[in-house]
Amino acid sequence: MKLTRKLVLAKAKASDLDSVKKLNCWGCNLTDISIFTQIPHIEVLTLSVNSISSLSPLSGCVCLSELYLRRNLVPSLSELSHLRPLTRLRVLWLAENPCCGTDPSQYRLNVLRCLPRLHKLDNQVVTEEELAFALNEGEEITTPPAAAQKQFSTSGQPENVSSTNGQTEAESENDPLNYSMEETNKIREQLGMKPIPRDKFSSPSPRPAARKSHTLEAVLMLLKDLEEEELRIVHAATQNRQLRIHTHLNTHTLQGETTIDTHTLTHTHSNTHTHTLQH
């Protein structure tokens, strides 16, 4: 069933779609929600107990703060990529969908890595510790195949071809400037932020194209644009990462000391045994 303008206005008791801010369509047997491309100011939306499989129409609902999608037919977590632009989204209920899989713990980590601004997922509060762990251990959610297809311009050329020299992203993959830009925009996408245009990037000084160097540049550039809440997320992830590195170094050091002690004891025992035989 397709959600129509008439049904939306009747349920929301509104005169036009622009004024709709809250909508409850629980159990309406919906399959098509394309109408939401015309409802940009929706803030609280209940679509639980329907047959919805695509979240693409919600990508423009930038005012959305609460979204209830329990018991639908969302096939893959890749559909969540459509929710990344929704920077005000704080509450998401996605349980009982095919995309949740059989491992609830990993499912939560993956969702939180994709949507780190969430305060509550499936009616359970998201803690700072869980978020930090998710940013490190959650699996990256990719864009749905249909949305990832290359789009072509009127000239028949892919849009990712440079207008100045015709060089594609694939051909310039090893270019330091291009790599740094892609790293930065990848992080911005995960935080629901718009990508930075190429002309906003300054040309890097000549140096070896080291992955860690470009990643650091991308992170430092990103920090300039982050608000307080985004910085809190980064801070939590940084602390978690530092703890993991510190634990790893301590473990490695203890293993090294154990090896040295074992070697010393063996050498000492050998010398003592030889000295005893001589006497």
Q: pLDDT of 167-177, one tens digit each?
A: 433 333 333 34
**Higher confidence at residue 3 or residue 148?**
3
Helix (H, G, I), strand (E, B) or coil at 260: helix
- Mean pLDDT of all residues belonging to the chain: 77
Burial (CB count <10 Å: 0-12, 13-18, 19+), residue 152: exposed
Digit-coded pLDDT (tens) for 227-250: 777 777 877 778 777 777 777 676
Least confident of 50-59, 226-235, 240-249, 264-273: 264-273
Query: Which residues fall within 8 angstroms of residue 66, CB to CB, at 6 or more apart?
Result: 43, 44, 45, 89, 90, 91, 92
Q: In the predicted model, is pLDDT for residue 69 greater than 50? A: yes
Which pLDDT score, from 0 to 100, does residue 253 have? 61
Least confident of 108-122, 144-158, 229-243: 144-158
DSSP string, 169-202: TTTTTT-HHHHHHHHHHHHHHHTTPPPPPGGGSP
Least confident of 24-28, 242-246, 264-268, 275-279: 275-279
Average the pLDDT over 240-268 and give the result.
63
Q: In the predicted model, is pLDDT for residue 153 greater than 80? A: no
Burial (CB count <10 Å: 0-12, 13-18, 19+), residue 45: buried
In the chain, how long is the greatest CA-to-CA distance?
A: 108
**Higher confidence at residue 213 or residue 97?**
97
Which helix or strand (DSSP H or E) is residue 129 part of? helix 128-137
Rounded to two decimals, the pTM is: 0.62
Q: Cβ–Cβ contacts within 10 Å for residue 148, how many? A: 10
Question: Long-range contacts made by residues 74-77, C-beta under 8 angstroms, separation at least 24?
Answer: 74/98, 74/99, 75/99, 76/144, 77/107, 77/110, 77/111, 77/114, 77/141
Which pLDDT score, from 0 to 100, does residue 60 have? 96
